[in-house]
Amino acid sequence: MSTKHTFHIPVMGTGFTLDTPLKVSPFGMDSVVSIVDDVLIENLRKTYCEKFEMPYQAITDKIEDFRAKRITSYLNLLQELAEAKFNEIKNATLETSHELRSYLNMLPEQSKLKSQFEALVSNNSSLKELRNWAGQHLKMGSIDVNIMTKLDKVNYVKGEKLPTEYNDAHAALRGFALSKLESSIVLSAGMNPRLYSYMEQFDDFYPDKNNHVKKKIVIKVSDYRSALIQGKFLAKKGLWVSEYRIESGLNCGGHAFATEGYLMGPILEEFKSNKKALIQTVHDILVPALQDRNKHIPSHSLPLKITAQGGVGTEEEHRFLMDHYELDSIGWGSPFLLVPEATTVDDKTLEKLALATEKDLYLSNISPLGVPFNNLKGNSKDLEKGNKIDAGRPGSPCPKEFLALNSEFSEKSICTASRQYQRSKIKELDTEEVSAKVYKNRFQKIVEKSCLCMGLGAATEQIHDMDVKKSSKGVSVCPGPNMAYFSKLMSLKEITDHIYGRSNVISNQGRPNMFIKELKLYSDHLKGKIDEVQGALTKRQEKYLLSFSENLNEGVAYYKNLFNNSSDKFENSKIQIMAELKQYKTSINEMQESIIKMVNKVQKA
């Protein structure tokens, strides 16, 4: 860790980080691209081939296995272009030596590479000597990919259902597995046993004779139990999880998968305490599975990284997570949306993001997945959607169908944001005898779903001036709550300086500590769940609400102990943090009492 960056850029949307590796990998920074939207991926491959005057052969949807082939071809192009830029930096000339210095200047202060380079410069080393040193020591950032495991839609050709390996997630996985990349696949949004089993078919996921895994598996999790279950499941297939990426359930961007009140700090503590046991348990399952498959048996347990992301916003928080929980890397997501040198966001959306306050960022119900989705008020996609509703034409055309997962009205699944689905649902609602108030509420729940397939890729299409025929130009964006505290566009150097404490780009002095922010989000979430209870409390609701509140209370107790025993950490904010913990403790207890009253009321009845 003393020679490389200690942060990574997580996946954001389908398009915002789709070409991020081209911009940051040459400077040693790891990033993650989404491989959901093969249509956008193919268009971007065409764009970059034209830009760099490289041969381009279109992969149309008439070609067999076109989805996987598009993804493989794009990832290979990313690797080739990023590597070419990286080699330019390593093989510095007098004209390009500033890029070599930029690479080194952006590293953390404790990096050995920095001090070694400065020593070479102070000794008046020649450019050739500097190039030799760079060739031996500099590393390119990893080009990682992300798959939401549940986006595994069945596909058809001429009305005939294709085999499972042509499902969306399976084809995307195959596209990565057959690429030239030596990097990681981040599996998110829960466990898909069929998809996990499919990974057995690709040798690159297994360790070679040198114990090297060419394509590593990263599981994004929100608690330790999930990590253990998924790690053991994959180990039984002979597959090793190289990294568990812990993400806050609510203090994050994109889709929000809330835990049952389990907070980030206690979760990280559990990983820290059980890391050795986790490695040994999974290794003991892995070895016989590899033997059964006649694969190479590692002489020792394979490396395991524990990383975290969600709501980190200051160097102090970054350093604390790295040091106290002994993490390998910290994900910085939403702030990078304001870094055009790293991500692809259109000017209008950039302006809205920079001006966004806490009130502008909210957890919405717009996702067709039925999972809460972080949203920005006034984004152009929602405005476009509102205009369609006002015109009496709710819903969207569904040309991509990546979220077409609802089979309520047809054997072939459709998307709940589609015009076809919403028309059918509204027609069904019209036949029911309900009050005007109930009708309005149910109508709103139908039409609020947004076409994220188009919206999350629209900025990429605009920035690269893609010649695509479509009726929608609105941009959806999915920043986390942390975006409220970053209010200006930043260069890549400025954001890395902020991460490592060389400068501070946060002008809002009211930003709460990341742990306190998450506690607030979970406290508000619990209140919302209590307010949703209508009529008598069911046994399931009772168990969930009581468990949730108890877990929050345990989290508060953990944080009180943590901050009391961290004498040299958060010195300038500790008094405020302790006061806020006391406040939330009172609030949670009050909610717990209200839950108990509802339980007693049911029991008396």
pLDDT along the chain (605 residues), means of 10: 83 98 98 98 98 97 97 98 96 83 94 91 90 94 97 94 97 98 97 97 97 98 96 98 98 97 98 98 98 96 98 97 98 98 98 97 97 97 96 95 93 94 96 95 97 96 86 91 97 98 91 97 97 86 96 98 89 94 97 92 76
Which stretch of DSSP H or E encloses residue 220?
strand 216-221
pLDDT tens digit string along 522-544?
A: 999 999 999 998 777 899 999 99
Longest dimension (CA), the chain: 87
pLDDT tens digit string along 332-346?
A: 999 999 999 999 999
Q: Looking at residue 249, what is its pLDDT?
A: 96
Judged by DSSP in three states, 113 sits in helix
In whole angstroms, how far apart are CA 345 and each of 139, 163, 333, 393, 456?
27, 37, 13, 28, 10
Q: Looking at residue 603, what is its pLDDT?
A: 78
Q: Looking at residue 1, what is its pLDDT?
A: 41
The conformational region for residue 64 under phi > 0 = left, psi -120 to 50 = alpha, else beta, is beta
83: nearest Cα among 122, 31, 28: 28
Q: Looking at residue 3, what is its pLDDT?
A: 64
Q: What is the dihedral of CA 367, 369, 371, 373, to 10 degrees?
A: -30
In whole angstroms, how far apart are CA 184 and each of 86, 218, 245, 262, 347?
19, 6, 12, 27, 31
Q: What is the CA radius of gyration of the chain?
A: 25
Measured distance CA(255)–CA(375) in Å, rounded = 9
The contacts of residue 63 (CB under 8 Å, 6+ apart) are 69
The contacts of residue 196 (CB under 8 Å, 6+ apart) are 187, 230, 233, 234, 237, 239
